[in-house]
Structure 1
Amino acid sequence: MTFAGFLGLALQTIKAPRDVARLLLSARLSSEALWTAFALVVVLNTLVFSATIALMPQDGFGLLGNPVAFMVVQAAALAGAVIAIASIGRAMGGKADLAQVAVLLIWLQSLRVLAQAALMIIGIASQPLAAGLALGVSVLGIWLSMNFIDEAHELGSLFKSAGVLILALMALAVGLSLLLSLLGVVPQGMNGYV
């Protein structure tokens, strides 16, 4: 896929998320292609995040300021999201398997890389503008996720897909907090009270 094709499909995702979800699902990518795409979006997310920290240094990242640690957490979060959305969706009557959920979430993560890169560039000129746009991107990401989940699981209801997304995020939060605690990450300022 060319960069122009990528941008075209990204814009189409915003305009018609269900059509793009059906297109991605019909591709029936091999597990090798999925693993390669998974690794690529994790690495690209890490590069953009690291570049953002380098260009606009901020405190509070702790261990996650380390690119390798960030990459591990990013990979765990994406894998956990795939498993949670596939499992919870099926428990709620959905039909998608891990590969189907994976292709959709990997695509959403690739869009996230694009959005983060754009926000990084905008943030250099105006951090308040970038913060406002980041909120809009987050809302758009939730909307796209709900449509993708509904299309993959064939739930027939954005309300049900919102339920799947909320439950998956809760499961992911618990899983990531366990992972971070195993890595020795504690919220800053809290260790004096524990």
Structure 2
Amino acid sequence: MTPEAFLKLALQSVTNPREVAALLLSIRPGREALWTAFALVVVLNALIFSASLLMDPTGVPTLLSSPVMLLVLQGAALAGSILALTWAGRLFGGKARIEEIALLMIWMQALRILVQGALLLIIPVSLVLAGLGTMAATALGVWIAVNFLDEAHELGGPLRALAVLVLGMFAMAFAVSLLLTLAGVTPEGITGYV
């Protein structure tokens, strides 16, 4: 995919996310291609985040300052969201396979890389503008995700897709808190380092 085609598809993801979802789902890449794309977006997201830390390293938890740990966390978060959104969609009668949700979430991560790159250029100019850009990108991300989930799961409406998104994120947050608790991380332990 050429940079021009990537940017055109990225813009179309905002203006007509259902059409982009249908296009992506029609590609049906193999597992090797999905794993390669998964690894690529995880590495690029970690690199962009690390670059942003170089601009302001203060106040960053030690866990996030390690590139290897950042890669692991990025990968786990993406894998967890794919599983949670597939599971939550099935609860609402969704039909998407895990590979289909993976493809759409990987594309969303590629869009995130684009936004983070733009924000890295805006931050030195204006923190306020970067903050507004972050809020706008978050709202657009929810819009795209809801439409992608509705298209993939064939839910029949954006409200059900929004419910899938909310339930999936709650399930992922619960799983992360459970894993942290099992690993011995408690709120008291975290605040002890503040």
The residue that corresponds to 1:168 in the other structure is 168
Which whole-Å CA distance do the structure 2 matches of 1:168 and 1:62 have between them? Answer: 28
Identity, in percent, stands at 50
Tell me the residue number matched to 1:13.
Answer: 13
Instruction: Please name the residue that 2:143 is paired with.
Output: 143
Question: CA offsets per residue over residues 20-42 of structure 1, 9 Å max, x none?
Answer: 00000000010000000000000
- Structure-2 change in CA distance of 1:188 and 1:113 (3 Å): farther
Distance in 2, Cα, partners of 1:150 & 1:86: 12
Residue 87 of structure 2 aligns with which residue?
Answer: 87
Show CA shifts across 1:107-140 (max 9, x none).
0000001101111110011111101110110011
Give the conservation status (yes or no) of the 8 Å contact 1:77–1:176: no
CA RMSD in angstroms, aligned pairs only: 1.9
Unaligned runs of 5+ in 1: none
For residue 122 of structure 1, what is the aligned residue in structure 2? 122
Matches within 5 A, 1:28-43: 28-43=28-43
Measure the CA separation in 2 of the matches of 1:188 and 1:134.
Answer: 30
**Whole-angstrom CA distance in 2 between matches of 1:79 and 1:23:** 22
Q: Matched residue pairs, number?
A: 193
Distance 1:70 1:184 in 2: 19
> Structure 2 regions of 5+ residues with no counterpart?
none
> Match for 1:36: what amino acid?
T
Runs of 4+ in structure 1 displaced over 3 angstroms? 178-193
Please name the residue that 1:157 is paired with. 157
Superposition deviation, residue 62 in structure 1: 2.8
Aligned residue runs from structure 1 range 102-117, under 5 A: 102-117=102-117
Relative to the length of structure 1, the TM-score reads 0.93
Q: TM-score if structure 2 supplies the norm length? A: 0.93
